């Protein structure tokens, strides 16, 4: 784990974004931890979050033409990340987001912002079973654009439909990489180092046995 990843986990815990307890996920799985990106809910937190995403994207070396923030949670993520790309990396990246409901007046349509064309970098919060991200892919397909990659905050490293992880299945099916600021493996390492959260660590290890992939 890199220093910035450790910083990110500390930041997420401090912000109340990363919580430990018992949570029911969208997939129905019962998880001992939950990452609620909506709680990066101040200007300062969002600015910092954007810097983490921008660093992970630049680090990945993935080339793209436009950033897509899927409604709703992806919208502030894409805005914050493009601001960080401009201020921290001198890259003025166009961004676009979708509306959940099409607008039939004014400019109309479901897309707001830059044209959705060329190679698209998708910004999202978390991938568990991969359902949400597959829905986003249809927006790109409809626009006849090309997916360049996905950047998420947390890779939960959970099983997909077969032996591969949900993320590996997404990478295979859409032929694009998924990058994350941190993964479950980093979180486990962080808790091991911390040493005072043995119970939480134990529950997460058990959960990983049931729903996780090895690495």
> Could you give the residue numbers annotated as active site?
103, 105
In the chain, what are the helix, strand and coil shares in percent, each to the nearest 5?
45, 25, 30
CA angle 139, 181, 100 (to 5 degrees): 25
Binding mask 28-67 for ligand OMP (x = CB under 6 A): ------xxx-------------------------------
Of 10, 16, 21, 26, the one binding ligand OMP by CB under 6 A: 26
Q: Is 25 in the site for ligand OMP (CB under 6 A)?
A: yes
Say whether 124 counts as a known binding-site residue. yes
Alpha-helical regions (H) of 61-104: 74-89
* Minimal CB distance residue for ligand OMP: 128
- Residue 24 or 202 with smaller CB distance to ligand OMP: 24
Q: Is 169 in the site for ligand OMP (CB under 6 A)?
A: no
Output the smallest distance, CB 88 to ligand OMP, in A: 25
Query: CB of 181 within 8 A of CB of 52?
Result: yes
Output the smallest distance, CB 61 to ligand OMP, in A: 25
Binding to ligand OMP (CB under 6 A) within 99-138 occurs at 125-132
Short-list 44, 31, 63, 71, CA closest to 154: 31
Short-list 166, 60, 57, 59, CA closest to 68: 57
Q: Give Cα separations from 112 to 9, 51, 120 (angstroms).
A: 32, 23, 15
Q: Is 211 in the site for ligand OMP (CB under 6 A)?
A: no
* Residues that bind ligand OMP in the complex, under the rule CB under 6 A: 25-27, 34-36, 125-132
């Amino acid at each position: 784990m890199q220093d910035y990843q450790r910083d990110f986990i500390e930041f997420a815990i401090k912000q109340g974004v990363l919580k430990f307890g018992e949570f029911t996920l969208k997939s129905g799985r019962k998880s001992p931890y939950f990452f609620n990106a909506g709680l990066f809910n101040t200007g300062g937190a969002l600015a910092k979050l954007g810097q983490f995403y921008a660093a992970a994207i630049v680090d990945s070396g993935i080339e793209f033409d436009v950033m897509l923030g899927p409604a709703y949670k992806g919208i502030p993520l894409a805005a914050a990340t493009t601001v960080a790309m401009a201020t921290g990396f001198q890259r003025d990246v166009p961004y676009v987001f979708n509306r959940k409901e099409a607008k039939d007046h004014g400019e109309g349509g479901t897309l707001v912002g830059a044209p959705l064309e060329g190679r698209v970098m998708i910004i999202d919060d978390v991938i568990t079973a991969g359902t949400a991200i597959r829905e986003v892919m249809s927006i790109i397909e409809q626009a006849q654009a090309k997916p360049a990659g996905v950047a998420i905050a947390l890779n939960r490293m959970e099983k997909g439909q077969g032996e591969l992880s949900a993320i590996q299945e997404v990478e295979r099916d859409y032929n694009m990489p998924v990058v994350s600021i941190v993964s479950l493996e980093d979180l486990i390492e962080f808790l091991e180092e911390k040493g005072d959260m043995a119970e939480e660590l134990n529950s997460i290890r058990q959960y990983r046995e049931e729903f996780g992939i090895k690495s």
